[in-house]
Chains A and B, each alone.
Chain A
Amino acid sequence: MRVEHFLSSSARRFPDKTALVTPSRRWTYRELDQATDRLAASLAARGLTHGDRVAIFMDNSAEAVIGIFATLKAGAVFSPVNPTTKANKLAYILDNCRAAAIITEARHLRVVEPATAEAASVRLTVVANGAPGTLVPGGLAFEAAIAGATAAAPRPRAATDLDLAMLIYTSGSTGQPKGVMMLHQNVVAAATSITTYLESSADDVILNVLPISFDYGLYQVLMTFKVGATLVLERSFAFPMALIKRMAEEGVTGFPLVPTMASTLLNMKTLTPADLPPLRYITNTAAALPVAHIKRLQELFPATRIYSMYGLTECKRCTYLPPEQLAIRPGSVGIAIPNTEAYVVDAAGERTAPGETGELVIRGPHVMKGYWENPEATAKALRPGPHPWEKVLYTGDLFRTDEDGYLYFVGRQDDIIKSRGEKVAPKEVESVLYALMGVREAVVIGVPDPILGEAVKAVIACEPNARLTEKDILRHCAQHLEDYMVPKMVEFRSELPKSDNGKLSRRLVAAEPVEG
């Protein structure tokens, strides 16, 4: 099975059922299926072909959903890129995967145009929500491409589930993002496993506010269409009361969240269970929920099953804690998801005893096929497994198990910071800091944070006459980095510690007490 069949087969089963609800419009499965057919036909008419890469650079919207499925229907590969990414990094990604096209919206053209000017491979820019006549040269207006008579989707040659479906870029320890290669069969396996333990069905209505450029948000779209459910797609959790109202209006049954959202809900002191809809389930991932929050969340949603989960882009999801275990082992992220295995090994590759810390290894049909054109990084992450035909994923995450085999996250093996469930390479943030006039030395570290998992912290030594404030640093970072990479805190020191060979040491910076 290929991923686009999630949509087309649900459209055959439930043509008139609501598939997608956005603040501006409701879409039935038939309407969405036809719009994606038309866009796929337009893309093919412009020369997009089997295996081409297409960047999706959009906020949560129906256009983004249509863009993803139209790309797949054209036989091409989609690459969702966080729309807060800045022009130079977008150019790097487009160039790295030699993207043939980018689908975006008018308000992001300020970033897209300079990026595509540098990426020679991009032949086509599809622009949604543009004012008439403002199209980029050689561009295609999204609205025109999905209007008009129904066109059949193109029939890509020899399409199988062994084709690449998605390239999703993640931070690497060298500072350059790496494209995680997911075949159709990897995505289908992950979506099947997750919908199995969530017991998802066509009766579900999912409220998604997570960015669909992030795999947790993206899979809400894919899994909704897979089971023929309804997706209510919103852009942000900034106004929780408005979303609680939406939940009741739409009869929402499933609500995926991250710890910051749980904490926002719990900060609303006047909220009682009577104000909240009877959700079937809530999921949490990205970082573990603090135990106190789990308890209060369950009090607010007494009849709701709460799933604590853990994953990484390279295999989408690794583990989940069955909800009935939540009160017993609130700090655990559970067991391997169905049809996969998760185990902990020591430095020699031997499985550890309960309580011993080691590296988490994942095996299953959801594991990526490697990093795009990066055999070195691929060889480090994918290593021989129990069978000669199989590679298993070394996650770089340190874990331990309890006596009953339940898994607990301990930390990272390398310098990578895990904040809000996204990987942040300190090197990437540091090189942005060094570009700021007045910064003499900069080191970026992760500090434990109950909500974010780790918070990004910048430790800076300035040039003697520089007068930089915390706000100057944050503003500069926000202008050059995706929002999740922007430090949450800044500390100024007169000098940063060096290791014996004179190099700045993140470890020593993290170990030194804050200067009084």
Chain B
Amino acid sequence: MLQKNEQYSPLSPELTAKEVRSFIEENFLFRGNCESIRDDESLIAAGLIDSTGVLELVAFLEEQFGIEVADADIMPENLDSIRAITSYIASHKPR
């Protein structure tokens, strides 16, 4: 059964999380001293992302999900873990 707001995004939260994870694994994972990352793990603390990395992440979100990320939104609570990014995408779907 379709929820009312689902027409705005073709992706379920699970699929979104999967897509975010594969972007992070592909582009950042090899930079840290770790093999895998949990959904709730801080990307900064894991040494995976720096300021250039955040800009790459923002560009990916804008391109892939059609959302506009304001400067003021580039905060750890929105972007510092796969889980945070996934819920940020969910609450900023384009209208």
Chain B residues whose CB sits within 8 angstroms of the CB of A238 once the complex forms:
44, 49-51, 53-54
Chain B residues whose CB sits within 8 angstroms of the CB of A84 once the complex forms:
31, 33, 47
Q: How many residues of A contact B (CB 8 A)?
A: 27
When C-beta atoms are compared, the residue in chain A nearest to B72 turns out to be A241
Chain B nearest CB, measured from A198 CB (Å):
25
Chain A residues whose CB sits within 8 angstroms of the CB of B72 once the complex forms:
241, 270
**Which of A111, A239, A270 has the most B CB atoms < 10 Å from its CB?**
A239
Q: Given the known A-B contacts A111-B33, A270-B72, are A264 and B44 also in contact in the complex, defined by CB atoms under 8 Å?
A: no
Contact check, A241 vs B30: say whether CB atoms are below 8 A apart.
Answer: no
Chain A residues packing against B (C-beta within 8 Å): 59, 83-84, 107-108, 110-111, 235-242, 260-261, 264, 267-271, 475, 478-479, 483
Contact check, A239 vs B74: say whether CB atoms are below 8 A apart.
Answer: yes
Contact check, A59 vs B47: say whether CB atoms are below 8 A apart.
Answer: yes
For A110, give its contact among B30, B33, B45, B50 (CB under 8 Å): B33
When C-beta atoms are compared, the residue in chain B nearest to A260 turns out to be B51
Q: Given the known A-B contacts A478-B31, A483-B31, are A239 and B75 also in contact in the complex, defined by CB atoms under 8 Å?
A: yes
Contact check, B30 vs A475: say whether CB atoms are below 8 A apart.
Answer: yes
For B79, give its contact among A83, A239, A261 (CB under 8 Å): A239
Chain B nearest CB, measured from A353 CB (Å):
42
Contact check, A268 vs B47: say whether CB atoms are below 8 A apart.
Answer: no
Contact check, A242 vs B75: say whether CB atoms are below 8 A apart.
Answer: yes
Query: In the complex, how many residue pairs between chain A and chain B have their CB atoms under 8 Å apart?
Result: 61
For B51, give its contact among A240, A475, A479 (CB under 8 Å): A240
When C-beta atoms are compared, the residue in chain A nearest to B45 turns out to be A235
When C-beta atoms are compared, the residue in chain B nearest to A475 turns out to be B30
Given contacts A108-B33, A239-B74, A478-B31, 6 further A-B contacts (CB under 8 A): A237-B50, A239-B44, A240-B51, A241-B72, A479-B30, A483-B50
Q: Given the known A-B contacts A107-B46, A475-B30, A478-B31, are A236 and B71 also in contact in the complex, defined by CB atoms under 8 Å?
A: no
Chain B nearest CB, measured from A475 CB (Å):
5
Q: How many residues of B contact A (CB 8 A)?
A: 23
Could you jot down 7 A-B contacts, CB within 8 Å? A110-B34, A235-B44, A239-B44, A239-B74, A239-B75, A240-B74, A260-B51
Is B80 interfacial (CB 8 A cutoff)?
yes
Chain A residues whose CB sits within 8 angstroms of the CB of B46 once the complex forms:
107
Chain A residues whose CB sits within 8 angstroms of the CB of B52 once the complex forms:
260
CA distance A111 to B47 in the complex (A): 14
Contact check, B76 vs A237: say whether CB atoms are below 8 A apart.
Answer: no
Contact check, A239 vs B80: say whether CB atoms are below 8 A apart.
Answer: yes
Chain A residues whose CB sits within 8 angstroms of the CB of B47 once the complex forms:
59, 83-84, 107
Chain A residues whose CB sits within 8 angstroms of the CB of B71 once the complex forms:
241, 268-271
The 5 A-B pairs of least Cβ separation, nearest first, read A268-B71, A238-B54, A238-B51, A264-B51, A237-B51
When C-beta atoms are compared, the residue in chain B nearest to A245 turns out to be B75
Chain B nearest CB, measured from A131 CB (Å):
14
Q: Given the known A-B contacts A107-B46, A241-B71, A241-B75, are A236 and B51 also in contact in the complex, defined by CB atoms under 8 Å?
A: yes
Chain A residues whose CB sits within 8 angstroms of the CB of B80 once the complex forms:
239
For A236, give its contact among B31, B50, B55, B75 (CB under 8 Å): B50
Chain B residues whose CB sits within 8 angstroms of the CB of A268 once the complex forms:
71
CA distance A188 to B81 in the complex (A): 41
When C-beta atoms are compared, the residue in chain B nearest to A268 turns out to be B71
CA distance A44 to B30 in the complex (A): 38
When C-beta atoms are compared, the residue in chain A nearest to B26 turns out to be A471
CA distance A479 to B71 in the complex (A): 31
Chain A residues whose CB sits within 8 angstroms of the CB of B49 once the complex forms:
236, 238
Chain A residues whose CB sits within 8 angstroms of the CB of B55 once the complex forms:
264, 267
Chain B residues whose CB sits within 8 angstroms of the CB of A269 once the complex forms:
71
CA distance A440 to B44 in the complex (A): 36
Contact check, B44 vs A107: say whether CB atoms are below 8 A apart.
Answer: no
Chain A residues whose CB sits within 8 angstroms of the CB of B30 once the complex forms:
475, 478-479
CA distance A241 to B79 in the complex (A): 12
**Which of A236, A237, A478 has the most B CB atoms < 10 Å from its CB?**
A236
For B76, give its contact among A111, A239, A475, A478 (CB under 8 Å): A239
Chain A residues whose CB sits within 8 angstroms of the CB of B34 once the complex forms:
107, 110
Q: Scan B46-65; emit 1 where CB is below 8 A from any A CB, else 0.
A: 11011111110000000000
CA distance A235 to B80 in the complex (A): 13
Chain A residues whose CB sits within 8 angstroms of the CB of B70 once the complex forms:
270
When C-beta atoms are compared, the residue in chain A nearest to B70 turns out to be A270
Contact check, A261 vs B51: say whether CB atoms are below 8 A apart.
Answer: yes
Chain A residues whose CB sits within 8 angstroms of the CB of B76 once the complex forms:
239, 242
CA distance A329 to B72 in the complex (A): 34
Chain A nearest CB, measured from B94 CB (Å):
20
**Which of B49, B51, B75, B79 has the most A CB atoms < 10 Å from its CB?**
B51
CA distance A84 to B50 in the complex (A): 13
CA distance A110 to B35 in the complex (A): 10
Chain B residues whose CB sits within 8 angstroms of the CB of A240 once the complex forms:
51, 74
When C-beta atoms are compared, the residue in chain A nearest to B49 turns out to be A238
Chain B residues whose CB sits within 8 angstroms of the CB of A107 once the complex forms:
33-34, 46-47
CA distance A240 to B50 in the complex (A): 11
CA distance A240 to B70 in the complex (A): 13
CA distance A156 to B44 in the complex (A): 38
Chain B residues whose CB sits within 8 angstroms of the CB of A270 once the complex forms:
70-72
CA distance A90 to B72 in the complex (A): 39
For B54, give its contact among A110, A239, A483 (CB under 8 Å): A239
